[in-house]
C-alpha cells in the first residue's frame, strides 16, 4: 500500500483513498505516482524517456478507478464539477508533458491531486438534507 508520506505527486489522493478504504483507487494512485516520478525525471533531464508517455494512461486508469469507487451516478451528477476539474487538470498535465514544461507539470499535478482527493472525500460524505 502506498503511504501518503511517500507520495510526492498524489499525497492528497493517496491519503483520501487510504482513509476511505478505496483500495483500487490507492493501487491506481501508486501506479500513477510511479509514472509521474519517471516523467518528472525526464522533464528535469530534458530527455524523452519512454515511461514519460505512459503517465496519461495511468491517470486515466486512476480516474476510472475513482469513478467506480464514488459511483458512476454520483460522478456524472453531483460529482460532475469534480469530474470536470479532474479532466481539466489531466489535460494540463498532458500539455505540460508535450511542451516539456516542468514548472507547469508540477502546478497541474497539484491541481489534479486536489481535484481527485476532493472527489473521493466529497462522494463519501452523507447527503445533506435540504429540509430543516
State the Cα–Cα distance between residues 103 and 95, nearest whole angstrom.
12
65 neighbors 43 (Cβ within 8 angstroms): no
For the chain, how big is the Rg over CA atoms in Å? 15
State the Cα–Cα distance between residues 88 and 71, nearest whole angstrom.
20
Low-confidence ranges of the chain (pLDDT < 70): 1-7, 48-53, 125-132
Check residue 18 and give its pLDDT.
95
Cβ density class 99-131: b for 16+ within 10 Å, e for less: eeebebbeebbebbbebbbbbbbebeeeeeeee
pTM: 0.85
Check residue 129 and give its pLDDT.
37
Check residue 3 and give its pLDDT.
44
| Residue bearing cell 508517455 | 53
| Residue bearing cell 508540477 | 106
Amino acid at each position: 500500500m502506498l503511504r501518503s508520506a511517500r507520495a510526492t505527486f498524489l499525497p492528497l489522493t493517496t491519503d483520501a483513498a487510504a482513509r476511505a478504504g478505496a483500495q483500487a483507487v490507492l493501487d491506481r494512485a501508486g501506479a500513477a505516482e510511479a509514472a509521474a516520478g519517471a516523467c518528472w525525471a525526464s522533464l528535469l533531464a530534458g530527455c524523452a524517456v519512454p515511461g514519460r508517455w505512459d503517465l496519461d494512461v495511468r491517470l486515466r486508469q486512476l480516474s476510472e478507478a475513482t469513478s467506480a469507487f464514488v459511483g458512476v451516478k454520483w460522478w456524472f451528477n453531483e460529482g460532475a464539477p469534480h469530474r470536470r476539474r479532474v479532466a481539466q487538470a489531466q489535460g494540463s498535465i498532458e500539455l505540460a508533458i508535450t511542451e516539456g514544461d516542468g514548472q507547469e507539470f508540477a502546478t497541474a499535478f497539484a491541481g489534479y491531486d486536489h481535484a481527485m482527493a476532493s472527489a473521493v472525500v466529497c462522494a463519501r460524505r452523507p447527503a445533506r438534507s435540504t429540509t430543516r
